[in-house]
Structure 1
Amino acid sequence: MKNDIIKFIDSRKFSSFDMSLVILGVFLITFTGYAAPAYGSVIPMLFKEWTDLNWDQLGYVGSLSEFGSLFGALVCSIVARKYGIKKVLIASVLIFCAGTFSLALSPTIEIFAICRFIAGFGFGGVIPLVISLLAEYAPKNNKSRSVATALCGNQFGAIIASFIAIYVTTQFDQWRPVFWMALIPVVLLPYILKTLPESALYMMKNNDVEGLKKVLRKIDPDYSSSVNVEEALKSFTIKEQANTVSYKDLFGKKYALISVLASVIAIMGLLFINGVIVWLPGVMTNAGYALGSSIAFTIFLCAGTVIGAIYWASVADKKGFVVLMPSIYIIGSVSLLLMGVKSNIIILYILITLVGFFLFAAHSLVNAFIAQHYPDDLRTIAIGLPNAMGRIGGLLGPTVGGLLLANQVSVMGWFMVFAGTGLIAALSFILINIQSKKAYSIDYQG
């Protein structure tokens, strides 16, 4: 949309407002990204408390969080269009915190499983809404980096969860305190409410002049010299059906293939991420490594992901996604496959760091790619769809990992399965590139 407010937001330099929004995004995703690795880290302790458990059951319990996330991403993306991103995002965070903290109070594995579903619903709403806000407010030449940096919160959460799990499980022989961290966002809720802006597009649709001025003033105190809010709103035009945009709009002739392939990429991405994050400590323990060393693999994995996500996002902002995405998916998948080769622990630490730097970091860029591939009025649901469909992969990841362990598949076979999903994602990106090239050729000739 060629609106003065949108142009003002897109064309300016990265500011302290953007930095605070990215930091808040990192913070929110850190605590929503805490639950899955925390669960994976305490699995050996769950066997001690509930002695009738088996690998299959814990795989299903791990998947329930993703099942909840599927609904959370779908529902929250639609509801946010009516009530605003800020309100729905805050509600999603609170639902996640309540569900995760309740894990520490669960008397049975059944109650534990229900709490993971509830936490998953909240988690499912947080990521697409945070990404939508960042994609909307970040300057045009910094959108990929802002989104990818915020998504590093998943890895920060995993690193924090791993360190806390190592300390709590080894020092106190307890698993319940690992989930107490979920209360931190609740304690900091006043700060979140004060810092988090409402979507500018939502305020424009609702003619919220004062709300827009308040946000623009935070962006640049001298904004009025560049944009007249009242005049911009008067000239603001958007197709009338935009208020009733639905997921079917993503499957018109122009966007159908990319919507399908983006969903495939998201499914494959969350399949290998959740499968590896949840089961990596268990797989390495089964391979003969001590629990503390096995949890350390998760720390190296997440550290590599953080560095890779920020680095590759910078490359994407300058060079684009066309060659970048298939390449880093393929290199990361090969690195994951090599994890199955018997080696010394130093080489394995290097390999798992490379898996994070390439394969896991690649998935962090998917949302940035999607956010920039659709028009403003479709952005929220365009991000919501693959994030919702991706939960199918997230649902399958812990289940597939658990079934492979339960059926005593070799370590090489286990890593081959998850490396294969990364190669499917790479192939999907290649197909998107081919389709986009054809579409560009048609538009150019037209």
Structure 2
Amino acid sequence: MSPSPSPSPRGRTVALLVVGLCWTAVLFDGLDMFIYGSVLPHMLATKALGITPGQAGDLGSYATFGMLVGALAAGTVADRVGRKTLMIGCVTLFSLASGICALSGSVAVFGLGRTLAGVGLGGLLPTAISMVSDYARGGRGALTIGALMTAHHAGGILSAYVAKWLVEPVGWRSAFWVCVVPLLFVPVLIKALPESLSFLLARGRTEQARALAIRHDIELPARPSQKAPADRWRWDALLNLFRGGEWIQTLLYWLASFGGLLLVYGVATWLPTLMRDEGYNLGSALTFVVLFNLGGIVGMLVAGRASDRFGAPRVSAIWFALTAAGVFLLSVRMPLGVTFLVVFLTGVFLNSAQAMIYATVSIRSTPDSRATAVGWTSGMGRFGAVFGPWLGGQLLATGNGDWGFTAFALAGVASMVFIGVAALRTPRRAVRDDAPRPVVVAG
């Protein structure tokens, strides 16, 4: 195949525009996702809304359950209303939901706000990835999506500073009012974000897609196949994951993803609270959030390169082992500088270990089952994302907070074992050496 032609200046401009707008939206996504964990130590210390540790864990799970619903519904809704419209709807939803949290007078109303926010958060990221994929031309799709993923962790860093600067002097509600600010970004999306070219072609709006491509001097994506055969193909692809001995491989991937996202969202929700429980002050606990997310940005940028060189299954297993060691070390009182380093390295490995599960599944799947295999692996992992925050809350509620880091470390060990065993098996659906390399995404 001949190399893709270099994009024109106009093509580069619209690509940067789309990536910039989607990056900003995902930044707000990360802010809203991590803000709860950042303000939680203060809420528990002041008994805000009468919240208990057990209820705090439940509230964390409400958001991740909402993300599960949003992620599963995103594809269907986007196919009906369009990627641009869905992105605008998701930003509006999680911003308004944060307003509900800020105004809430009870745990039940606060929980409703976090659940609705989760639906918007879960729907935004896959839609943003689809948008930048449409406009990233010239063989830079993986790099573009990797850059997009850094926004989520940048939002986590921002959440720590919002909590550090506002919560103690003003109160926890102020942090959620900041999360309403993305509403001001909605008119910018309406005005400046172009529609997805793939969506326009799929809906038969070929002339509109062609006009948009000509205006921005970019290539049109390949036309999708007809809908009915595609529906049958999707069900066949799902059944193929369980035919013969493939069900063992599939379950190993699902279990690894469950443990990985349990670890990711459990640590994201409870890191500041558990560190404060270990004796660190609130300022240090929030600094850990900053370092953890800085590590996540670095990890996302190096994960693909490491996988290309050493193989995604092998690196994923090693990354989970290092993550488990780092999380366990956080339960040990160490000099502050050493703890900062451990938190940073844990962020590097944890946030990219899960992404490399998806890379492994993608590499080891045939083209006709790849999207289904990765999608279902991610979906099953989302149940771990619901369970992780709940588990941390239950441990604290029963006076076993000291076991929090140990429990999360064990989840990392389990994922290491599952992905390691899966890597040792030789799947019959392995792709050819000339198959296109997968795009590594997170969450």
Q: Describe how 1:395-414 pairs up with structure 2 within 5 A.
A: 395-409=386-400, 411=402, 413-414=403-404
Change (3 A) 1:438 1:243: closer
Alpha-carbon distance, 1:69 to partner = 1.5
1:41 aligns with 2:31: no
Higher relative contact order (CA 8 A, sep 6+): 1
Deviates more, 1:266-275 or 1:80-89: 80-89
Q: Please, which runs of 5 or more residues in structure 1 have no aligned partner?
A: 1-6
Which ranges in structure 2 are unaligned for 5 or more consecutive residues? 435-443
Kindly provide the CA deviation profile for residues 266-317 of structure 1, in whole angstroms up to 9, marking residues without a partner as x.
Answer: 3222211221121111111111111111111111101111111112234446
Q: How does 1:246-265 map to 2 (within 5 A)?
A: 249-253=237-241, 260-265=251-256
5 Å matches for 1:96-115?
96-115=94-113
Shift of 1:38: 1.2
Deviates more, 1:432-441 or 1:386-395: 432-441
| Contact 2:49–2:107 (8 Å) recurs in 1 | no
Q: Which aligned pairs between 1:271-350 and structure 2 lie closer than 5 A?
A: 271-316=262-307, 321-350=312-341
Q: 1:439 to 1:300 in 2, by over 3 A?
A: same
SS at match of 1:352: helix
Match of 2:158 among 153, 157, 160: 160
**What is aligned with 1:67?**
65
Q: Give how far 1:164 is off.
A: 0.7
**Per-residue CA distance 1:241-283 (angstroms, 9 max, x = gap):** 2156656743324786665444434322221122112111111
1:189 is aligned to 2:178: no
The reply to whether residue 428 of structure 1 matches residue 418 of structure 2 is yes
Q: Which residue of 2 aligns with 1:31?
A: 28
SS at 1:308's partner residue?
helix
Which residue in 2 is equivalent to 1:11?
Answer: 4
**Counterpart AA for 1:167:** W
CA contact (8 A) 1:60 1:399 kept: yes
Is 282-291 or 17-26 further displaced after alignment?
A: 17-26
SS in structure 2 of the partner of residue 418 of structure 1: helix
Residue-pair matches, total: 426
- Tell me if the contact between 2:313 and 2:357 (Cα under 8 Å) persists in the aligned partners: no
Paired residue for 1:3? Answer: none
**Aligned partner of 1:204 among 187, 201, 218:** 201
Assess if the C-alpha contact under 8 Å between 2:31 and 2:159 holds in 1: yes
Cα deviation for residue 74 of structure 1 reads 1.4
| C-alpha distance in 2 between matches for 1:263 and 1:134 | 27
User: Per-residue CA shift, 1:314-356, capped at 9, x if unaligned?
Assistant: 4446775243322222222222222222211110100010001
2:114 is matched with which residue: 96, 113, 116? 116
1:241 pairs with 2:229: yes
Q: Deviations over 1:355-377 (max 9, x none)?
A: 01111133345556667777888
Tell me, in whole angstroms, the C-alpha distance in 2 between the residues paired with 1:182 and 1:21.
22
- 8 Å Cα contact 1:72-1:388 kept in structure 2: no
259 and 217 in structure 1: CA distance in 2 versus 1, 3 angstrom threshold: farther
RMSD: 3.4
Give SS of 2:140's match: helix
Give the Å deviation of 1:143. 3.4
